[in-house]
Amino acid sequence: MDFLRIRGGKKLKGSVKISGAKNAALPLIASSILAKNEVTISNIPNVKDIKTLLKLLSNLGAEFSFENSTVKIDTSTINHTKANYDIVRTMRASILTLGPLLARFGHCEVSLPGGCAIGQRPIDLHLKALKRMGANIEIKQGYVVATAKSGLKGSTIVFDKVTVTGSENIIMAAALAKGNTKIINVAKEPEVVQLCEVLNKNGIKIEGIGTDEIEIEGSEGELLDMDPFDIIPDRIEAGTYLCAGAITNSKIKIENVIPAHLEAILIKLQEMGFSLNIGDDFVEIEENMSIDPVKIATSEYPGFPTDMQAQFMALSTQADGVSVIEERLFENRFMHVSELQRMGAKITLKGNIATIEGKTNLMGADVMATDLRASSALVLAGLAAEGITNIHRIYHLDRGYENLESKLTSLGADVERLSE
Ligand code: UD1
């Protein structure tokens, strides 16, 4: 198994190009199930989660190529509709095949994803919405067995909670349904918006895109003819590199971003005293000798993303004073706390609130990655720490960060990938 060795304390400089957004690419690759033609999608990050979804679709009979950040995928050859446990357990987002498979084929079986390191993460809202659209759903031997023999029917869905993949599943299902589907309290994340925009450009009429109430006119089973398109930049990767600049007190530039998608992250960095130079498609963060403590509560977009919570906790260890971070979306998303403590961080946890006392001089240590974003917090801490930090179980990082070592090395960090 690989691990990352970081020799901390190096100042960073230069610029880094941000990759396409994994969380936009996943639903959009799944949306190729709704198409009759070979779909070409560019700016796809070369990360494990994408390969997992492509493998799942290929197991169902789809044909694809993935070269130079471009996926070409033909789902016309799909000949069965069972997404097996073996794949789904390695990536929860496999559930994104449920809506489009059911919509196109009228039946499918998708393994229940189960819990994960950051909490229970049920899919009850996805299932409830599909039932309202006329699907018959049963849970059999760990699988969601869904059927809609005469197709899905448009309906009004009210999500009790804002759910990102839940919204995406229902949007894709509604695209081929008979009649209109209104989704109230739909997620507004840029990744959900891009899914709507792509469907809309390819013949599915969607009103209210970007608001919390959308209405989708179903095609009554008629498959889409999808034009080539590019995936939006990854706002979480962008935020992580900005934190890398911030925690090492360095001036760096992130390129190929959409700054509007980063607003909540940029505002928190400014509140911590960082000066930012924000362009049309780049953000530059300036050196900053002292960091102000911060208060953060995670929430749905456009609020502060839960996927940036761990990175800001690492950064808060370097602030002069007490920072408070409240996690409102996932019940167990503090796995990084004990690892940061092993590096010398002073963090106390009470329920879903972490209090971070700064500034502490972090010391390199052997630490363990526990989930994707928790791992990136450990990388950030390692960059700021004195001495050597070895981060084990980095397969979590490989799920979502493209070329992490080479991007950090190009910025001047001392990072290498080694085998245990
Ligand atoms: C997506 C993102 C993930 C991000 C999260 C929140 C992808 C592939 N993953 O995950 O990176 O951290 O959004 O921004 O895009 N919930 C239910 N019932 C459901 C569905 C969700 O109770 O049926 C709850 C969840 O437990 C959680 C909250 O709703 O507390 C939000 O979860 P959700 O938005 O669904 O997260 P994901 O789509 O899994």
Reported as a single tens digit per residue, the pLDDT across 57-113 is 999 999 999 999 999 999 999 999 999 999 998 898 999 999 999 999 999 999 988
Residue environment code for 222-261, b if the CB has 16+ CB neighbours within 10 A, otherwise e: ebbebeebebbbbbbbbbbbbbbbbbbbbbbbbbbbebeb
Residues forming beta bridges with residue 281, ordered by sequence position: none
Please give the number of the atom of ligand 1 that sits closest to the Cα of 123: 23
Is residue 243 flagged as an active site residue?
no
User: According to the model, what pLDDT value does residue 113 have?
Assistant: 83
| pLDDT given for residue 89 in this prediction | 87
Residue 61 sits at φ, ψ, to 5 deg, of: 115, -5
Give the orientation angle of helix 22-30 with respect to helix 190-201, to 10 degrees: 40
Distance, CA of 172 to CA of 31 (rounded, Å): 7
Residue with the bigger pLDDT between 357 and 90: it is: 357
For residue 228, give both structure tokens: 């080539």
Per-residue pLDDT tens over the stretch 30-52: 999 999 999 999 999 999 999 99
Local structure of 55: helix, strand or coil: helix
Using DSSP, state whether 380 is helix, strand or coil.
helix
Please work out whether the CB of residue 122 comes within 6 Å of at least one atom of ligand 1: yes
Round the average pLDDT of the chain to a whole number and report it. Answer: 96
Q: Which residues pair with 326 in a beta bridge?
A: 297, 353
For 14, phi and psi rounded to 5 degrees? Answer: 105, -155
Q: What pLDDT digit, counting tens, does each position of 387-419 carry?
A: 999 999 998 899 999 999 999 999 999 999 999
For residue 235, is pLDDT > 90?
Answer: yes
Phi, psi of 197 (to 5 degrees): -65, -40
For the cut 70, the answer to whether the pLDDT of residue 250 exceeds it is: yes
Considering only CA atoms, which of 25, 106, 108 is closest in space to residue 73?
25
Query: Given the CA of residue 161, which atom of ligand 1 is nearest to it?
Result: 29
Judge if pTM exceeds 0.85.
yes
- What is the Cα 136 distance to its own chain's centre? 29
User: CB burial class (10 A; 0-12, 13-18, 19+) of residue 49?
Assistant: buried
Report the pLDDT value the prediction gives residue 119, as an integer from 0 to 100: 65
Question: Ligand 1 pocket test: which of 112, 164, 183 has the largest number of ligand atoms within 8 Å of its C-beta?
Answer: 164
Q: Mind listing the pLDDT tens digit for each residue in 131-172?
A: 999 999 999 999 999 999 999 999 999 999 999 999 999 999
Residues 198-216: pLDDT tens digits? 999 999 999 999 999 999 9
Q: Which residue shows structure tokens 């304390």?
A: 9
CA distances 200 to 171, 191, 196, Å, are 11, 14, 6
* Ligand 1 atom 21: residue of nearest CA: 163
For residues 77 and 147, the answer to whether their CB atoms sit within 8 Å is no
The 3-class SS string of 300-336 reads CCCCECHHHHHHHHHHHCCCCCEEEEECCCCCCCCHH
Dihedral in degrees, nearest 10, Cα atoms 404, 406, 409, 413: 20
Tokens linked to 345: 């961080």
Cα–chain-centroid distance for residue 157?
Answer: 24
Q: How far is the CA of 307 from the centre of ligand 1 (A)?
A: 11
Out of 108, 116, 196, 243, the active site residue is 116
Q: What local confidence, expressed as pLDDT, does residue 365 receive? A: 97
